[in-house]
Amino acid sequence: MTVRNNDLSDAALAVHTADPSLYNEDLAPLPASRRTWGWFAIFNVWSNDIQSLAGYTLAASLFITAGINGWFVFAAILLAGFIVKTLVDLSGRPSVKYGFPYPVLARASMGVRGAQFPAIVRAVVAIFWYGAQTYFASTAIALALNAVLGNPGGPQFLGMDAISWISYVVASGLQIALFLGGIERIANFLNIAGPAVYLVMIALLVAIWAQLGSELPGAVATVFSRSEVTGWAAVSAFAGVTGTMIAYFAAVVINFGDFARNVRTERAMRFGNFTGLPLSLALFTFLSVFITAGAYLLYQDGRGEPLTNPTDIVAAVDNVPLTVLAAVTFLVATLGINVVANFIPPSYSLSNIDPARISFRRAGVITAITGFVIGALWVAVISTIGLPKFVDTLGAVLAPLYGIIIADYYLVRKQRLNLQDLYSADPGGCYWFTRGWNRRAVVAFAVAAVFSVLTVWLPQLAQYSGFAWLSGAALGGLLHWLAMHKVVVRASHDDI
């Protein structure tokens, strides 16, 4: 079968009789006639991912914990943006070319049955992130309610009072309603949310700068620095910030094909990645570092520590109209990206487990229920780990999968796949391997994942923790290539 000019309508029809255990309409190749996204849609996916409350809290936490000049933190985060841009250009290209989502691409390297494993891993990580982001979104609702009601307080359960619980339930319901509206409504939602967040952040910065004046620029360079963080320690801190920011995007990096399949051309995808990652990340980080430094000088909490959640900073400004406006804006941004980055991907992944029985929407219900439980435990349990370590751990688990999939597609298969066999349970198919599993890939993942997770948690490897994601991806890809490069890979019937 020959497929040309990115028109996969014939290809989609060609697999409609595929094995029901590997096929449904959501997993089928998306024909060119149904691809409606341009570069601006990709830009907004990344902008909203960056602008979430969890994204700001992570960036602010890195300014505080790194102990180096604030401008060095800024440079490290910007470097991470360029690295992630390169990574998603690679992971998005196959889906632009063939029109399928990430779980189908994983079948080429893991086997048509073995692909359920990375799909489940990706789903678990996404559901954890979904719960965390839902909690952060609920803090925006609580901010507005407390501003209007005068902070009623009250008894707490699992670290949250009545207002917090009401806010959490409302945030969860709003996300489900957004998800049920479909991918196009979500894209339109993000187009509004992205610019609105920047307007509120600029207003917040102006409010802080007006009180501090010329003192603020100097504070950016010195307020978070510590005298003992110099030499190699400073270099290691710089690498740690870069690595943690890469890990923050890891969940979207590996399954970026879920979004790229909706883009008309690869050129549009690449330009959207460039404007949405390095450029948008630079603007957001610039605003974040000034707001965090200014808030540190103006609104230290009782322990003398900086405020890392922007909703806490907005509340400290003590301006009710600005508080309500900021709360609504941060809520909109966090809800939008949470549905896109942490709701849709696990829905695809869970559907891939049993396409005939688990529809995309049914998988979404599973995601919503599980994520609700995880988010409810955020304050009392998960947050005690610390957000940077939480991010690094999830990223370390996903990293080897990215390396394996990329090495398989570019180095082993030379960017050529047999589309028909990706949906076939025929033991003679290209991707059947052993009972549908590629055991070599599973071993490569296991070895690389253990190493990358140990770099996060083992004190003896602490100096390499900033490289956990990159080292895990590189090791996973290398081990997979070494295991597969002598294996005869059948020629693809596709020629694009």
pLDDT in tens, 375-429: 888 777 766 766 566 667 777 888 899 999 999 999 999 999 998 899 988 888 8
Q: How many CB atoms lie under 10 A from the CB of residue 9?
A: 15
For residue 210, tell me if it sits in a domain: yes
Mean pLDDT across the chain:
79
Query: Is 490 part of any domain?
Result: no
Q: H helices of 249-359, where?
A: 250-254, 257-260, 266-274, 280-298, 310-317, 320-342, 344-353
Strand partners, 434: 437
Task: Check pLDDT > 80 for residue 325.
Answer: no
Q: 411 is in which domain, residue-wise?
A: 9-484
Say how many domains are in the chain: 1
Q: Does 494 map to a domain?
A: no
Two tokens at 268?
């549009």
More confident: 215 or 430: 430
Q: Give dist(CA 241, CA 426) in Å, integer.
A: 46
Give the DSSP H/E element, type plus range, for residue 78: helix 70-98
Q: How far is 282 from 81, CA to CA, in rounded Å?
A: 8
Residue 393 covered by a domain: yes
The pLDDT confidence band at residue 39, using thresholds 50, 70 and 90, is: very high
Structure tokens at 410: 């570019």
Tokens of 245: 């920011």
Instruction: Say if 456 falls within a structural domain.
Output: yes
Between 431 and 185, the higher pLDDT residue: 431
| Interatomic CA distance for residues 63 and 76, integer angstroms | 11
Q: What angle do CA 87, 88, 93 make, to 5 degrees?
A: 115
Least confident of 57-61, 229-233, 266-270, 356-360: 229-233
Looking from the CA of 376 toward its CB, the CA atoms found within 13 Å total 14
Question: Is the overall model pTM greater than 0.85, yes or no?
Answer: no
Task: Provide the sign of the torsion angle of the four alpha carbons 184, 190, 193, 199, taken in this order.
Answer: negative
| Residue 317 confidence (pLDDT) above 70 | no
Distance CA 344, CA 45 (A): 12
Q: Which of 36-50, 244-258, 345-359 has the lowest mean pLDDT?
A: 345-359
Do 441 and 114 touch, CB atoms closer than 8 A? yes
Query: Which of 31 and 213 is assigned the larger pLDDT?
Result: 31
Confidence of residue 431 (pLDDT cuts 50, 70, 90): very high
Phi and psi dihedrals of 37, rounded to 5?
-85, 140
Q: CB neighbours (10 Å) of residue 357?
A: 11
The gap between the terminal CA atoms of the chain, to the nearest Å, is: 10
Nearest CA-CA partner of 408 in 479, 315, 331, 312:
479
pLDDT in tens, 443-477: 999 999 998 888 878 877 766 666 778 889 999 99
Q: Nearest CA to 466 among 354, 388, 409?
A: 388
CA proximity to 84, closest of 382, 473, 351:
473
Which tens digit of pLDDT belongs to each residue from 51-64? Answer: 766 677 777 777 77
Kindly report the CATH number assigned to the domain that includes residue 253. Answer: 1.10.4160.10
Q: Could you tell me if residue 2 is inside a domain?
A: no
Give the pLDDT confidence score for residue 377 in this predicted structure.
82
Rounding to the nearest 10 degrees, give the CA dihedral for residues 122, 80, 377, 372: -50
Give the model confidence (pLDDT) of 110-153 as tens digits: 999 998 887 787 788 778 878 888 888 888 888 888 878 877 77
215 token code pair? 């003192």
Whether residue 81 contacts residue 50, with contact meaning beta carbons closer than 8 Å, is answered with no
Q: Looking at residues 64-79, what average pLDDT do you find?
A: 80
Residue 1's pLDDT is what? Answer: 37
Residue 467 lies in a domain: yes
Q: Is the distance from CB of 443 to CB of 148 less than 8 angstroms? A: no
Across 81-92, average pLDDT? 95
In a domain, 476, yes or no: yes
